[in-house]
Structure 1
Amino acid sequence: MSSQAHELSIAQLTAVMEDFTRMSIRLPAVHRLSFTTLSVLHTLSSGGPKRLSELTAGEQVTQPAITQIVRNLERYGLVRRQPDPSDGRAVLVHITAAGAAVVDGRRAERMAHLAELAERLTRAERDAIAAALPALARLVELNERRID
């Protein structure tokens, strides 16, 4: 194979990642909440409690929008607000057990669907995906460091 056969096409990577992300987001049929609302739950699940300002920046929405999202999530019992121990004037948004169950349920449903799809791949295709996982994880790590 030529060295060009192994070149990384950023355009192709971007297109495939966009399509894969769109598919992945739409897979779970449980808990039909908006993408941003679900993203807030996933952020709190993986990153721990956050101030509203942190959620606003991370989710790239306005302060009024994040306030409304958190208010709705509170109403559903999926998050709770508590005073920030480091600053009594601020509050931290915490995910509740019910909110974590939504995240876990969506992940389980997504995994089941992807397992079904993966069974239709050839062994070589599954091996290629497995081999790419460390590099994809590294891209995520590099991005998180850039954001911090």
Structure 2
Amino acid sequence: MMSETPTVEAGIPVSAAQAAGEIRVVFSRLRRRLREVAGLGELTPSQTSVLSRIDRGGPASMSDLAAAERVRPQSMAAILAAIGEQGLIQRTPDPADGRRQLVSLTDVGREAIAGSRRQRDEWLTRSLTDHFTEAERQTVLEAMTLLDRLADR
């Protein structure tokens, strides 16, 4: 006779509920730790996210950024104003639609993002080297494959 997987409710396996909670807690802690080593000074998580999005995706309109970040246009205007004051972004007319402006990174903004990425990568690499065995690093790589699949759902 096969043993049944223990369930919480509505057929949800206990292991799925436990994994969901653990993923949420660990990712929150890791995100906070990476922000600490990011070297982006007083930027908020929202400002950092917008800078990273522009870095990855290239110039974008304010409305496109608001939609991508899932915030109201008024909130995006405030985010862009704050990072604009720091000289991290520039606005140029959209060649396809003169009524819109495209937001892109300045050289200072590009260097800030690149430097932050380097600091986070260095911290992660150093931590994985100093505190994990090769077998544990391989387990992390395998888990990342599964978590990437989860993120695509």
After TM superposition, is the score higher than 0.5?
Answer: yes
Q: Does 1:130 align with 2:141?
A: yes
Q: Which moved more, 1:45-54 or 1:20-29?
A: 20-29
Q: Does 1:101 align with 2:111?
A: yes
- 1:120 is aligned to 131
**Structure 2: 5+ residue stretches without partners:** 6-14
Deviations 1:12-58 (A, max 9, x none): 22222222222222322343311111111001001111111122222
Q: Does 1:92 align with 2:102?
A: yes
2: distance between equivalents of 1:56 and 1:16?
A: 27
Q: Match for 2:35 among 25, 35, 44?
A: 25
2: distance between equivalents of 1:100 and 1:137?
A: 26
CA shift in 2, pair 1:30/1:90, >3 Å:
closer
Corresponding letter in the other structure for 1:66: M
**Larger of the two Rg values belongs to structure:** 2
2: distance between equivalents of 1:138 and 1:47?
A: 22
Corresponding letter in the other structure for 1:61: V
Corresponding letter in the other structure for 2:83: L
1: distance between equivalents of 2:24 and 2:82?
A: 33
**Structure 1: 5+ residue stretches without partners:** 144-148
After superposition, the CA RMSD in angstroms is 2.4
Query: TM-score, normalised on structure 2?
Result: 0.77
Corresponding letter in the other structure for 2:55: S
- 2:52 is aligned to 42
Deviation at 1:85, TM superposition (A): 1.8
Corresponding letter in the other structure for 2:136: E
Deviations 1:81-103 (A, max 9, x none): 11112211111111122111111
Identity of aligned residues (%): 29
Query: TM-score, normalised on structure 1?
Result: 0.79
Q: Match for 2:65 among 43, 55, 62?
A: 55
Q: Runs (4+) of structure 1 moved beyond 6 Å?
A: none
Contact 1:31 1:102 in 2 (8 A): no
Q: How many aligned positions are there?
A: 139
1: distance between equivalents of 2:44 and 2:22?
A: 28
Contact 1:37 1:69 in 2 (8 A): yes
